[in-house]
Structure 1
């Protein structure tokens, strides 16, 4: 492992990984945390940046409840994960049997139908949903979405492939053995996909971290069969895909944001009327200039932009957490890796300083820049 120097104020870690083709690479990850003002929409860097999340944190019992925070130590993510932790709130704080909550992330809108407690009831030839009872709020957890797990005869367990911690799913095998007449029904639905049958295994509705063992995510982990045991173990199967490391709900994964940009976010009915009249929050998440500057064993310097790939909006604590990551091959033969941060206000001055150093042949000083800012030097030169 090469030496690592963190020149930023953010928690960070450098670690080694390997891909499905047995190529080694280094991963540099850091996490930027903001305080969120729900009234003004202003994001302010937290004075205490905390630590990286190094292992999954569950709401309750690990493996039997949904994940509140997933580990930051993923090797690579090909898409942006967006997570919203909090609760759905009825409009104007008035008890309602059904209401809708939503999130707009950039150009994408995602909506959930929310219901009060309701049941599946066994009729002569089918199961039917009862009318929901009125509620004012419901926590955003997959425990309230379609799915579940049952203990059958002889201690056997059967679990939903798409949400093992959910509710309101009853496959034919369980219906036959358990002979239930009523079970609690899901309280969340994806707006374009209403729940129609008690034994459906569609995507559960939610905005939280998606289970590592749930479909379709588990399908990206590859094939661990006898051939893998004999020929590949303990390395990754060759059909492994890094999509597996994307931990958001499949419909909450978006294109990676470009450097120097912003991600506009609008949330509706995810805050109470008491906390904010109108129950809408709007803010813009900046893509910060964080980069790795790598000095190789031969003395060369190479820089890499860190990519924002995880956005966690934690409404109960009024926090927004952004995880950034970059990777580089072991063939680079890194000797020292530095994490550097340039604030938005500093970008122009630092680019101008680097431009002056390049233009002055007598100046042997050097200002490291990430590729995203090197491009600005080229633009300034073109206009100069």
Structure 2
């Protein structure tokens, strides 16, 4: 009987997966939950967050953005960095615009947060209203550019923004029924404001993006009739493992982070700025088969920052090859030591 012996303070799960060549792997997922204070060293939290075996959403699945990408997934070729939280004007004040951002080691992203605006017809032209003041705003893709336009009488002309179908501000035809009162995005890229309803800026955010969103979806490969007849249920030959990286593209580190990297946060806490270093652990997995043992060093491939609760989630992963031998695994030992 397969036994997983967790000798860490973290959550551990064993996930059987198969790659596009049909080779089997036992993927060991190790998830650590930490709490942190400004410029302090994050320490293990008393209540660990469980490993998620499916994506979770901010609202209704399929019509809202991802809150957390599933932990139980195959190998990631790089490290995802994501932030789940809100923009905060420092000191409890109000503002109509605010820059927010994060930097973790080599990856960084800065967004401009703009108060609520709507399209309004003035002097015969469609113009944005002046932004309203805010103290805090959620950093979700529902507030970034995107959305669906279903107003045309011909359903064949319905369309949406494939990079963010749950966003706001997208209008396909300039129909007054669609534009009047339509919310503009709160999240923009600094220096690239929306000025016309035909503008199609790239959606921006700090959180995870959906499996069927571009550009992530293009890594899923070709699922056509030829694939269904010749390869299914194997993955398509053009499947790219980068599909498993679910962070905003600018927040995916092509090389796995090691731990110990500096973290800098801007205007995602009431204090305005926060800084600390990622915890650094050496996480090792030993798989015992009936005839042999195999040691694997787990890589840090997911970093989730939750500034509103001062929480940090780190996920390490090790893929143990076991083609046609998954049931031969007798025991998996997991160790983690501070590095």
TM-score under structure 1 length normalisation: 0.80
After superposition, residues 159-170 of structure 1 pair within 5 angstroms as 159-170=160-171
Shift of residue 178, structure 1, vs aligned partner:
4.3
Asked if the contact 1:140/1:206 (under 8 Å) is kept, the reply is yes
Instruction: State the match for 1:158 in structure 2.
Output: 159
Shift of residue 319, structure 1, vs aligned partner:
0.9
Instruction: State the match for 1:271 in structure 2.
Output: 269
Instruction: State the match for 1:13 in structure 2.
Output: 13
Asked if the contact 1:84/1:208 (under 8 Å) is kept, the reply is yes
Distance 1:197 1:241 in 2: 36
Distance 1:320 1:190 in 2: 25
Measured at CA, do residues 42 and 129 of structure 1 come closer, stay the same or move farther in structure 2, by a change above 3 Å?
same
Instruction: State the match for 1:105 in structure 2.
Output: 104
Gaps of 5+ in 1: 348-384
> Per-residue CA shift, 1:147-166, capped at 9, x if unaligned?
01233336675332011111
After superposition, residues 189-268 of structure 1 pair within 5 angstroms as 189-191=188-190, 193-257=192-256, 259=258, 261-268=259-266
Measured at CA, do residues 244 and 9 of structure 1 come closer, stay the same or move farther in structure 2, by a change above 3 Å?
same
Distance 1:231 1:4 in 2: 36
Measured at CA, do residues 73 and 14 of structure 1 come closer, stay the same or move farther in structure 2, by a change above 3 Å?
same
Asked if the contact 1:257/1:287 (under 8 Å) is kept, the reply is no
Instruction: Output the aligned Cα RMSD.
Output: 2.4
Distance 2:192 2:220 in 1: 26
Measured at CA, do residues 29 and 303 of structure 1 come closer, stay the same or move farther in structure 2, by a change above 3 Å?
same
Instruction: State the match for 2:329 in structure 1.
Output: 335
After superposition, residues 43-192 of structure 1 pair within 5 angstroms as 43-122=42-121, 127-152=126-151, 153=153, 158-172=159-173, 175-176=174-175, 178=177, 180-191=179-190
1:324 aligns with 2:325: no
Asked if the contact 1:256/1:309 (under 8 Å) is kept, the reply is no
Shift of residue 311, structure 1, vs aligned partner:
0.5
Q: Larger helix proportion, structure 1 or 2? A: 1
Instruction: State the match for 1:292 in structure 2.
Output: 285
Secondary structure class of the residue paired with 2:119:
strand
Asked if the contact 2:106/2:253 (under 8 Å) is kept, the reply is no
1:22 aligns with 2:36: no
Shift of residue 331, structure 1, vs aligned partner:
4.1
Distance 1:288 1:213 in 2: 33
Q: Which has the higher contact order (CA 8 A, sep 6+)?
A: 2
Distance 1:258 1:312 in 2: 13
Instruction: State the match for 1:281 in structure 2.
Output: 274
Asked if the contact 2:257/2:301 (under 8 Å) is kept, the reply is no
TM-score under structure 2 length normalisation: 0.90
Secondary structure class of the residue paired with 1:293:
strand
